[in-house]
Amino acid sequence: MPTPWEDWNHILKIDPDKELPEGVTYGDLCATGTDAIEVGGTMGITAENMSAVIDACAEHDVSLYQEPSNPEVVLEDDALDGYLIPTVFNAGSPFWITEAHKEWVRLEGDLDWERTTTEAYIVMNPEADVAMLTEADCDLGADDVAAYATVAEHMFGQEIVYVEYSGTLGDESVVEAAAEATDESTLFYGGGIHDYDSAYSMARHADVVVVGDLAHDEGIEAVRETVEAANDA
């Protein structure tokens, strides 16, 4: 069955715990040409700040997904096209591989499975909040990442493999190795994309580039450059 992200090149990830640049609105970000808005973050996330961003983006014609960091912030909202749920394959704590997910199911019961998709995260920046929170083993070579990507696709049937360098631009050879290791899964890349060239370099290998901090740090035109690059690659 076709998935929406098969046709995507670019995702804009908005962190509800971070401010937007002066004069920038969520509507402006939705109009940058990105294929989808993903609302999520690692630290300081609450149901209230998630809801505020989702409500602001829901008024605009762009695919809208929630990426919850824990079960307590999952929102049942018809404005959402779905939920993208991280499972960190190289986490040091099993909580971030399956236990958080088990708790969500235990607490909520029958989830909206048709709109719920897991993302097989491979976290690569040891200084990132997500790496520290999940105790991720980031001391990985390209062959390790390729092996994780293969396991995610062929053993666990993951539709999305996500190479995450959160906060720094990754090693292009690592992303290339992950791309070569995946056949059917869609490869997401996130981390350190700050201009046309950095977006283009990663979009040459990844199916979808995820841009996050740039929206909060630089604003609309910088995001538009990365959309252009992702579409050009």
Question: Residues forming the annotated binding site for sn-glycerol 1-phosphate?
Answer: 13, 162-167, 192, 212-213
Q: Which residues are annotated as a binding site for Mg(2+)?
A: 15, 42
CB atoms within 10 A of CB 76: 10
Question: Are 37 and 30 contacting, i.e. CB atoms less than 8 angstroms apart?
Answer: yes
Q: What is the pLDDT along the chain (233 residues), one digit of tens a residue?
A: 789 999 999 999 999 999 999 999 999 999 999 999 999 887 888 889 999 999 999 999 999 999 988 778 888 889 999 999 999 999 999 999 999 899 888 888 778 899 999 999 999 999 999 999 999 999 999 999 999 999 999 999 999 999 999 989 999 999 999 999 999 999 999 999 999 999 999 999 999 999 998 999 998 999 999 999 999 99
> What is the secondary structure of 123-171 as a DSSP string?
E--TTSHHHHHHT------HHHHHHHHHIIIIIT--SEEEEE-TTS---
Cα–Cα dist 1/138, whole Å: 33
Q: Burial letters for 142-172: b for 16+ Cβ neighbours within 10 Å, e otherwise?
A: bebbbbbbbebbeeeebbbbbbbbbbeebee
Within 10 A of 110 (CB to CB), how many other CB atoms are there? 6
Q: Distance between CA atoms of 125 and 170, rounded to whole angstroms?
A: 8
CA angle (221, 201, 64) in 5-degree steps = 55
| The pLDDT value given to residue 69 | 80
Count of structural domains, the chain: 1
* Residue 229 Cα distances to 20, 153, 170, 172, 218, angstroms: 22, 27, 17, 16, 17
Residue numbers belonging to the annotated binding site: 13, 15, 42, 162-167, 192, 212-213
CA 8 – CA 23 distance, rounded (Å)? 28
Domain that holds residue 112: 4-232
* Euclidean distance between the first and the last CA atom of the chain, given in angstroms as a whole number: 25
Q: Is 223 exposed, middle or buried (0-12, 13-18, 19+ CB in 10 A)?
A: buried
pTM of the model: 0.95
State the CATH number of the domain containing residue 18.
Answer: 3.20.20.390
